[in-house]
Structure formats: C-alpha cells, structure tokens
Amino acid sequence: MTQLLTYMQLTDCPVGLLINFNVPRLMEGVKRLINPRATVKRRTEDTEGTEGTEGTV
C-alpha cells in the first residue's frame, strides 16, 4: 500500500487500485486508494476542442 501511495504522489495521480490476487474472489482483493496530495486538473471551456486547430483558416 505504501508503494502505491508513493507512486501516486510522484505521478500526481488522484486515485489508484491495489489488487490482491491471493483471494478466492478477485473483487474481495480490490482496494481503491485516494491520493490527498494530488492536484485536481479540470478542463475548462476555453481548452475544449482547440487541439489541432492552430494554423487553420
């Protein structure tokens, strides 16, 4: 769990999954972890749909 939290902090990832394959049912071994130090990146209306339109007439 500590290793996943470290990777999440280094990559600024907000959420991660920790999966334990040594359980009878796989869903019993899945844990969702939240990185409280991650910054939230939100798309604004100004940046939506503007990719690849530079230089077009």
Task: Using alpha carbons, list the distances in angstroms from residue 46 to 40, 41, 50, 52, 57.
Answer: 17, 14, 8, 14, 19
pLDDT tens over the chain, length 57 residues: 889 989 999 999 999 999 999 999 999 999 999 988 888 776 666 555 656 665 555
Q: Distance between CA 8 and CA 36 in Å, rounded?
A: 10
Q: What is the pLDDT of residue 26?
A: 93
Q: pTM (2 decimals)?
A: 0.58
Q: Where are the domains of the chain?
A: 2-34
Taking all residues of the chain, what is their mean pLDDT, rounded to a whole number?
Answer: 82
Task: Using alpha carbons, list the distances in angstroms from residue 11 to 14, 21, 42, 50.
Answer: 9, 24, 17, 26
